[in-house]
């Protein structure tokens, strides 16, 4: 989570890659985190995928760092 003045502004999750087998589980997990924390933005950090899935940014770890 990334906070700004005690408000969660970004929920962050990591995953080696998003595939057909894990896509539903990973997206549900980050959405659940957003709901629980009140975050309005989310990102899933991956090894090398860069995309947007249902409003969730997929960011390669080398870009995140």
Q: What six digits make up the tokens of 59?
A: 């960011």
62 pLDDT tier (thresholds 50, 70, 90): very high
Burial class (CB in 10 A: 0-12, 13-18, 19+), 26: buried
pLDDT in tens, 6-36: 888 899 999 999 999 999 999 999 999 999 9
Q: What is the pLDDT of residue 27?
A: 97
Q: What ranges do the domains of the chain cover?
A: 12-64
Please, what's the largest Cα pairwise distance for the chain? 37
- Pairwise pLDDT comparison (11 vs 3), residue with the higher score: 11
């Amino acid at each position: 989570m990334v906070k700004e003045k005690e408000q969660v502004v970004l929920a962050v999750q990591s995953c080696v890659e998003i595939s057909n087998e894990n896509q539903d589980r990973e997206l549900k997990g980050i959405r659940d985190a957003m709901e629980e924390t009140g975050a309005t933005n989310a990102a899933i950090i991956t090894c090398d995928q860069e995309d947007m899935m249902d409003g969730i940014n997929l960011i390669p770890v080398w870009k995140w760092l």
